[in-house]
Amino acid sequence: MVIARAYGSGEPRTIVVPGLGATAGEARIPASGLPGTRIVLTLPSHADATDAPLDYWRYPTIADDVSSALDGARQAIGVSLGAGALSNLISRSPDALDRVVLMLPAALTKPRPPASAAHVLEMSTAALNGDRERLRALVAADAPGGLDAYVDDRTDALLRLGPALDAVATQIPVPDPAALLHVSAEILVVAATGDLLHPAETAHEAVAAFPKATLVQFDSPAPMVTHRRELRALLVDFLGVPSAG
């Protein structure tokens, strides 16, 4: 059910799995500057994609859609929900990818922390009730100041995603931590600081869970906005050469 759009050409081929509620422009941010072919996915109920069935929002279901879109790609970037989907994918297919970036993971082998889950459920309630004002206030609370247009766009995107927010608030992407011990990929985990939706403790959990993982934590609750140049350099350094696989 995902839409795959390719940018660039040649090797390496990199899949980008956006976070929940990512706008079309936001979804492309992690791919910016990468050489080769960047394949950016649009999930159901996002941008120009059709609405998802109510039972769609399960990590194994999303991971299966991502797997079907790999098309020879051996490296991937997942943001938030996308990080959870990629983690689920490689927990079941540990040799599917050679390099993986888990950017702002929200959960891995444990539920979200209670405060984070409650915040997501509050957003879900606002979206399901069509309460744009309340949802916008919740989105604005998570964003740096001075980004009114971004907050408006994200609010409009999340209004379509009440069922998804409700589903992912308490889900665990990888229920069996032992499955991650067999993952052969090099993992780069990118964390924020002070982000209620993407707790740094989850990023630290991810680094401990994978055999070959490295953590980079930014001193910002929204590094995709405040540290875009540094993030781009980090991703190019990690993903910018053809995979050996």
Averaged pLDDT, 25-33: 89
Domain that holds residue 8: 3-109+173-239
Averaged pLDDT, 46-67: 96
Number of domains in the chain: 1
pLDDT at 245 over 50: no
Cα atoms in the Cβ-side hemisphere of radius 13 Å centred on 189? 26
Q: Identify whether 104 is part of a domain.
A: yes
Say what the pTM is.
0.96
Segment 188-224, tens digit of pLDDT: 999 999 999 999 999 999 999 999 999 999 999 999 9
Q: Identify whether 32 is part of a domain.
A: yes
Q: Identify whether 129 is part of a domain.
A: no
The CA-based angle 195-116-137, given to 5 degrees, is 70
Residue 41 is part of a domain; what is its CATH number?
3.40.50.1820
Segment 154-177, tens digit of pLDDT: 999 999 999 999 999 999 999 999
Q: How far is CA 88 from CA 3, 34, 91, in A?
A: 20, 24, 5
Reported confidence tier of residue 147, pLDDT bands at 50, 70, 90: confident
- Diameter over CA atoms, the chain: 49
pLDDT at 226 over 60: yes
Averaged pLDDT, 212-239: 95
Number of separate helices (H) and strands (E) present in the chain: 10, 7
Q: Identify whether 114 is part of a domain.
A: no
The CA-based angle 152-126-86, given to 5 degrees, is 75
